[in-house]
Amino acid sequence: MRFDVISLFPDLFRILAGQGVVGRALERGSAELHLWNPRDYTRDPHRTVDDRPYGGGPGMVMKMEPLQAAIEDAKRAAPDSEVAYVTPQGRTLVQDTLAEIAAKPGWILIAGRYEGIDERLVERYVDAEWSIGDYVVSGGELPAMVIMDAVMRLLPGTLGHKDSARQDSYVDGLLDFPHYTRPETVAGARVPQVLLSGDHQAIARWRLQQALGRTWLRRPELLERRGLSAEEKVLLNAFIQAHRDAE
Ligand code: SAM
């Protein structure tokens, strides 16, 4: 899978690309990252990439010409890719959207700055607009990194263990269960006994019950959307009863 990012701050991507999950995906060749800086496409001595908004008001707007030239070059280099603008006005990403993104051969991501990009670019080039949530950050670089990380960890062979992503929160419509590691007792706090039992069925049941219980406590609307099997209902009811007894 190929990502081309159009950004005024390409250096911000170098740390992400050099380590962790994204670094591994790039090193293994399951993903590619190419960076395009609109400033390299300016022709004036000041290398101007922004200008004042028509109609007045505060802030600056990213100019059409340098961005357009960068997008055109990226499209020539990645003819099969679609173009997405990361913007707080876009469709809010959820886990299911990542599979749609990963299903395409590649994406050219436009990272905005200032008040955003000239709307005529959106009209002419943009196939999708994505938001990472209902809040505003200063530039599209972090949103682009969030999207690339979230997608690349789903690509086969990127994570250390093939099941790691499958048990993550949201993948099956539930939040993840709690995790523990050595030592068995630390500062007087013990690991739940069932996890030390070696009984894989009991462990799987306990984990499912915890995932159901946590989702019920923190994100009940997810349970309504997902629906529950008969076994899951029994497990959740027992969790709810224990929770109420402990209150
Ligand atoms: N004036 C814009 C608005 O209110 O819609 C916000 C501009 S923001 C300061 C600058 C850039 O950051 C945007 O062009 C966009 O690329 C990026 N950005 C900010 N918040 C974002 C979010 N929640 N999701 C995706 N991109 C975001």
Contact 112, 62 (CB under 8 A): yes
- Distance between Cα 86 and ligand 1 center (Å): 7
Q: Which atom of ligand 1 is nearest to the CA of 132?
A: 24
88, 118, 141, 143: the active-site residue: 88
Reported as a single tens digit per residue, the pLDDT across 87-123 is 999 999 999 999 999 999 999 999 999 999 999 999 9
- Distance between Cα 69 and ligand 1 center (Å): 21
Adjacent-strand bridge partners of 186: 189
- Give the C-alpha distances (Å, rounded to integers) separating 8 from 5, 12, 35, 49, 168: 10, 9, 10, 9, 33
Element (H, E) at 212: helix 200-218
Reported as a single tens digit per residue, the pLDDT across 203-223 is 999 999 999 999 999 999 999
Can you give the pLDDT at residue 162?
Answer: 67
Q: What is the DSSP string of 90-121?
A: EEEP-HHHHHHHHTSSEEEEEEP-TT-B-HHH
Smallest CA separation from ligand 1 atom 6, residue: 115
Instruction: Look up 218 and say whether it is catalytic.
Output: no
Which of 86, 126, 141, 148 maximizes ligand 1 atoms within 8 Å of its Cβ, making it the mutation to test the pocket? 86
Instruction: Look up 72 and say whether it is catalytic.
Output: no
Instruction: Look up 153 and say whether it is catalytic.
Output: yes
168, 172, 176, 232: the active-site residue: 168
Two tokens, residue 71: 């997008």
Contact 134, 92 (CB under 8 A): yes
Q: Which atom of ligand 1 is nearest to the CA of 139?
A: 12
Which protein residues touch ligand 1 with a CB less than 6 Å away? 86-89, 111-113, 115-116, 131-133, 135-140, 143
Reported as a single tens digit per residue, the pLDDT across 24-43 is 999 999 999 999 999 999 99
Q: Say yes or no to pLDDT of 161 above 80.
A: no
The C-alpha atoms of residue 133 and residue 93 are separated, in whole angstroms, by 7
> How does residue 163 score in pLDDT terms, banded at 50, 70 and 90?
low
Phi (first) and psi of residue 32, to 5 degrees: -125, 145
pTM for the model: 0.95
Which of 8, 49, 67, 87 maximizes ligand 1 atoms within 8 Å of its Cβ, making it the mutation to test the pocket? 87
The C-alpha atoms of residue 122 and residue 118 are separated, in whole angstroms, by 7
Q: What structural domains does the chain harbor?
A: 2-152 (3.40.1280.10), 171-246 (1.10.1270.20)
Q: Is the peptide bond before 66 cis (omega within 30 degrees of 0)?
A: no
Q: Is 29 exposed, middle or buried (0-12, 13-18, 19+ CB in 10 A)?
A: exposed
- Distance between Cα 112 and ligand 1 center (Å): 7
Percentage with pLDDT > 70 across the chain: 99
Residue 29 three-state SS: coil
Instruction: Look up 207 and say whether it is catalytic.
Output: no
- The answer for residues whose C-beta is within 8 angstroms of residue 154's C-beta and 6 or more apart is 98, 99, 102, 165
